[in-house]
A and B are shown apart, each in its own frame.
Chain A
Amino acid sequence: MNKLYSNLFKKDWFGLLIVVFFGAIIISLLKPAFISPFNIYVLMSSISLMLLVAMSQMIIIAIGQMNLSVGAIGGLAAISFAGLMEVYHMPISISACLGIIIGVAAGFFNGYITAKTGISAFIITLATLYIFKGINLGITEAQPFYKIPEAIRFFGNEKIISPIPYLIIIPLIIVFMMWLLMTRTKIGRYMLAYGNSIQSSELMGISSTKIVITAHVISGLLAAIGGMLVVCRLSLGTPNIGDSWLLPSFAAPVIGGALLAGGKVDVLATALGVVIVAIISQALVIFKVDPFFVQIFLGFMILFAVLVNRYREYQEENKKKLFSHE
């Protein structure tokens, strides 16, 4: 029994689950409105959207890099999705395909240049952030696309059963697939190996180029899907979709125990990180706190989470040091 407890505690997500659980209880005791069906519905909708953003950054953190263009890719896919439907009256499926193609292409662009030139992903994605955002604004001229088919609005806003929105279906499936990817597939394990040690993984014959490109393609794809889901929720395709994604995209994985150096990410913990951020944002609204405090809070949370993660790594390393010196 003791072994079960200690194994559970080691898992990143367990601690977070406790935090979520107790946090939710405390908040609902103070403000019962928190657990009203409506509020839970709003919470779940916002979690649905944020999950994709977090996963998109998480996979890049796994290989030890950063993707600053997640918001820009999401935004570009979003307006293309909406625009195709409004302007060219294309069916939903075709428009969604375009969105997906954009995500994949953008991700491939990022990954290819990063892998082939060895320039840091940070700088590449900083440039593409402006390139994709620029294309976005160039196409939309800062005007949103309004005329979205009813089916989209329905998907983004209706509930399956009381508080559970349709919106959450796709993110849940994706979280599950990401979990499978990172824990049970060769390519996912190779990505983590690469994030752990580029040298060791190359010595074992893992192709760095393949890993980097694949990770960025997945990142772009997830960002694009996220953008399109936002369109469903808003029933609008506005050019500023994705503008506020950068901070939360890092916050959730980091709260979930990810190390920015790479090689350590936990899908479930990241998802719980999303939940925590969403709950906090919601709670601040319910307590009528200035919404900008969310920004401040997120900032502190990131710092705090990074420090905690570093501290834990440091403790692990020290334990090992004692081992090796006989």
Chain B
Amino acid sequence: MDRREFLKRAALTGIGISLPGLGTVIHQLEASEKIDLVVARGDSPSKITNAAVEAMGGIRRFISRGDVVVIKPNMGWDRLPEQAANTNPEVVATMVRLCFEAGAKKIKVFDRPVNDPRRCYVQSGIANAVKALGAELEYMDERKFRDMSIKGEALKSWPLYTEVLEADKVINIPIAKHHSLAKLTLAMKNWMGVMGGSRRQIHQKLDESLADLGLVIKPTLTVLDAVRILTANGPQGGDLKDVKKTDTVIVGIDQVAVDSFGATLFGMKGSDLGYVRAGDKMGLGTMDLSKLKIKRITA
């Protein structure tokens, strides 16, 4: 702590003591910091997203004035919102709006889709939703992938998208879906969307690779969209019978915890998912839900 920092803190403490009102605010902030996960349920995707972020301590806890923010939804498939293969556009739009309210200078939204990027961006409904708010929705530029040292168990290095690593803040907004190899794709697997190169090879050691990505990509906040979840024929679905409406979003900082909770929506436990186990073991986060402070709200 340098001298300037010391003076600042001393002054703040002084104000805190002299003004009882502000003291309780600070107290509340400290309490909210201890909440690990917020699970919000309700009919309106934007309302529950707003409420969940608020319960996590508010957007200003995460985004500062002038930040360059990367928002990474899952828009990997040429599917419509009701088919639950891509992140709910309302949830994404709500996060964009919140970040701008907190003073974000620039918000970039992108994904490296499996299907044609133009169709994925448009058909997912995300292009329309976020462009209207002034976020930058650009197609990924092949030149901006750079080989990054990961030093993980499965991935020693891999080309990753530099804009994610250079951003001031990164928000992960995945959707909860079935996946035949990973069992489920939730927050940790969403980072495959910023991998360059021949990422299809990572399926040979999928769980370890996904955990390894957590060594280099550390999102500020994760918002798991479970407004609609895809229970079979994932990760792209297509049959509305496989879609279940759960009207939920889960917000947290720890991706392992978010994914561990996400598994419960499908009647599984976090420990059923190999990458959650691997992430827990590597110390990336906490898989054991009983050790977490989970706040449930309805909005």
A and B held together in a complex = no
Chain B residues engaging chain A, CB cutoff 8 angstroms = none
